[in-house]
Structure 1
Amino acid sequence: MIVILALIGTLYYQYEKTRMLSSHRLAMQLESESYVPVLKKWLTTDRDLASFPKDLAYKTALYGYDQKILVGNLKNNTLDFKESIALQAQHVHLIIPLSPYGLGEFYLIFETHDDQLWKTEAIQRALWIGSGLFTFLLLIGFILARLLLKPMNDAIALLDDFIKDTTHELNTPISAILTNLEALKEEDIPQIIQKKLNRIEIASRTISTLYNDLTYLILNHDVAVINEPLDIGELLTERLDYFRHHIKQKKIHCESTVSPNVLLTIDRTKMTRVIDNLLSNAIKYNKMGGTLKLTLDHETLCVQDSGIGIPADMIEQVFERYTRADKSVGGFGIGLHIVAMIAQEYTLDINIESEEKIGTKICIKWKTV
């Protein structure tokens, strides 16, 4: 029995270590998105070692193709290049190859100190859980515990790592595509090529919206929140322009009634997620040549489409995670769940009216001061 509990404790410890490394990896990868352009400028200009750009959040270093350090300020220079992220001597290292960024055979290293809090918490939890499992295993037996606990923990860890890795891998190529598309718009391009580029931009922005939703679900408790008076009309116009090619592709007629100077104290990123998901759904589920109506006054934002509508028995469920009213249309079913999460956080009221084959109207209402 002791051996079994020790084995379970070891597995749990490894799971917590993997989860800790996964969390550091996501944070470091997101930080690299802003650091790599700075490094690129340094590599393509002076390459003066004295002016090597240092990241504010992490210790940084640059290694050559021979895996030897060129410049940096790491506390621990012993690295295992076989692992993209590893814990060594109480330091976590993330190794980022720079060749995908077109910067040659270099390696960017991010380093952060491991405070070991996860280990203390893991041991405490393991001891607490172990005492409970001891009684449980006496009653149920080792076979049942193995069947129920280990696959569940493995599945959770696998899903967690998959989502975190996937969101990062989505961002880099999509950002590159959108950046190059913006550059191409400034050139004189034949109309037939322009149509193809528009279709590429639509697909890229769809994936970019999905990336933003997944990132919000993963990091919404870790990202700094800045609540400030926000001009909702201005933001609505900005996000409507973001979806302009989607709207044009489906030949949707857009009608807007927007009151000026509508201010709401809210975090800009979160309000962007609300508007983007409402617009995305209204476009996605709309019919070809349909209508999109936007109404904004000093206490209400409404988005109405002329699409497929939602069955009456599904209306109460559409705000649940992974719920989709129409599974024939792509998506994960997380958009309206995010809207509901943000609405609950800021005590916003959501009202939804829908009729099959007629359309859907969703209104977000807030209290004015």
Structure 2
Amino acid sequence: MLASKSLGIDFRQSEKQTLFGFLALYVLLTVIIISVFSFIYFGLQKDLMLQQKKSTLQKYSKELIEELKKLHVNFDKTQIYPRSDKFDSAIFDNEKKLIFSTTQSKLRLDKILYLEDGVIHLVNIPESYYLGARYIIVKIIDDEVWLEQTKKKITVFVVITFLFMLGIGYILLRLFLKPMRDAITLLDEFIKDTTHELNTPVSTIVANIEMIDKSSLDEKLLKKINRIDIGAKTVSNIYQDLTYLTLGNEIISNNEDIHVEQLVLERVEYFTSLALAKKIKISTNIIEKTFLHVDKFKISKLLDNLLSNAIKYNKVGGEIIVNVDKRVFSVEDSGIGIAKDDISKIKERYKRFNKSSGGFGIGLSIVSSIAKEYNLNIDITSKENIGTKVSVSW
């Protein structure tokens, strides 16, 4: 099935933006979920390690209490608090005041078993107050073997889970976008078929109207013919826009040296009847002759859209000035203008800022795409209720 170069291109860009937006949000949520599970797993592993070390610390604590008991009985002879090379210890009284300690670090009594600064602490309460001791703390250095193993497991879990969730998210997004993609493809095919069917009747109407000798017609019939001419040219312009949007990337460019001033005069003459319908005066100002090495159809399409927009968004009885100078031409109107904040967005396809003036919002998008192909510079200056000037330079 052929993919349209009009809606198809826009849809692919929109699809890409949607894809990245969804994946960014999906990745953020995935990271949060993985982080929560990793944190929980880390906590469980830490608690498991502490429980495994608890028996060792309880054994050391029991040894310390036994030594303290002996000291309590023989205090008059020894007067040296028990200590060991296997662990550090500290003794606190009932008011949590330090009696003796083999370490300078700050100790806590609000937890029974805890890990702090790489040291495992166990707080024990003897059955008897030997030498006024109420709290016994024993502590050993954590070898951190569990920590390294936990880090490795969490890293593997994070990588595998992240890649798996990313793949699932991508598949889900593609499935969600499929109905829209199918609808866009169907719409593109419809546009292609419609524009193809419009070609012959529109071309026939325009050609036959141009062959009519209007000087021999009475005024009443001439007005009717002019209305038909305006309607046919309007439809023809829409048809050409749709054709370009549909087949733009498939149209082979036949570049040649185009005299810009001659092309401007031709296109102005073509749009004269459309301008007269709104009592708009079109004047041309050829300052200096210039030429472009481009495809005539494409540059005509660019000019047509500038002139069409200048008529469409102009005031009744307004004016359009087309200037041609060395390496630049411009179309200036006395129309409704564009808000300053909207000028940067005006080249976006289907973007319209005035709903009352018709159109599909594709004119300046076509202008922009043709200008991009030939490295032409588009400059738009506008003031609301005063007018707009679009300059094309190279």
Which residue is 1:307 aligned to? 335
Q: Which amino acid aligns with 2:229?
A: E
Q: Cα deviation per residue 1:20-48 (whole Å; 9 max; x = unaligned)?
A: 8x99xxxxxxxxxxxxxxxxxxxxxxxxx
Answer 1 or 2: higher relative contact order, Cα 8 Å, separation at least 6.
2
Which residue is 1:19 aligned to? 2
Which residue is 1:338 aligned to? 366
Is the contact between residue 137 and residue 145 of structure 1 (CA under 8 Å) also seen in structure 2? Answer: no
Deviation at 1:180, TM superposition (A): 2.5
Secondary structure, aligned partner of 1:243: helix
2:176 matched to 1:148? yes
Q: Cα deviation per residue 1:141-176 (whole Å; 9 max; x = unaligned)?
A: 99x679614412321221211211121122222112
Is the contact between residue 301 and residue 364 of structure 1 (CA under 8 Å) also seen in structure 2? Answer: yes
Q: What is the aligned counterpart of 2:389 among 361, 366, 369?
A: 361
Q: Which amino acid aligns with 1:19?
A: L
Deviation at 1:311, TM superposition (A): 1.3
Q: Which amino acid aligns with 1:332?
A: F
CA distance in 2, matches of 1:356, 1:299: 28
CA distance in 2, matches of 1:165, 1:338: 20
Distance 1:254 1:179, change over 3 A: closer
Secondary structure, aligned partner of 1:265: strand
2:241 matched to 1:213? yes
Which residue is 2:350 aligned to? 322
Which residue is 2:187 aligned to? 159
2:292 matched to 1:264? yes
Distance 1:137 1:280, change over 3 A: same
CA distance in 2, matches of 1:141, 1:339: 35
TM-score by length of 1: 0.59
1:1-369 aligned at under 5 Å gives the runs: 18-19=1-2, 139=168, 148-185=176-213, 188-366=216-394
CA distance in 1, matches of 2:2, 2:253: 24
Deviation at 1:198, TM superposition (A): 0.5
Unmatched runs of 5 consecutive residues or more in structure 2: 6-163
Secondary structure, aligned partner of 1:221: coil
TM-score by length of 2: 0.56
How many equivalent pairs are there? 236
Is the contact between residue 346 and residue 352 of structure 2 (CA under 8 Å) also seen in structure 1? Answer: yes
Deviation at 1:259, TM superposition (A): 3.2
Secondary structure, aligned partner of 1:229: strand
Deviation at 1:325, TM superposition (A): 2.1
Query: Which is higher, the Rg of structure 1 or of structure 2?
Result: 2
Secondary structure, aligned partner of 2:385: coil
Deviation at 1:138, TM superposition (A): 8.9
Q: Which amino acid aligns with 2:205?
A: I
Which residue is 1:88 aligned to? none
CA distance in 2, matches of 1:141, 1:311: 39
CA distance in 1, matches of 2:316, 2:185: 41
Deviation at 1:184, TM superposition (A): 3.0
CA RMSD of aligned residues (A): 2.5
Is the contact between residue 268 and residue 282 of structure 2 (CA under 8 Å) also seen in structure 1? Answer: no
Q: Which amino acid aligns with 1:284?
A: K
Distance 1:139 1:348, change over 3 A: closer
CA distance in 1, matches of 2:330, 2:181: 42
Distance 1:146 1:275, change over 3 A: closer
Distance 1:283 1:138, change over 3 A: closer
Q: Which amino acid aligns with 1:362?
A: V
CA distance in 1, matches of 2:327, 2:174: 54
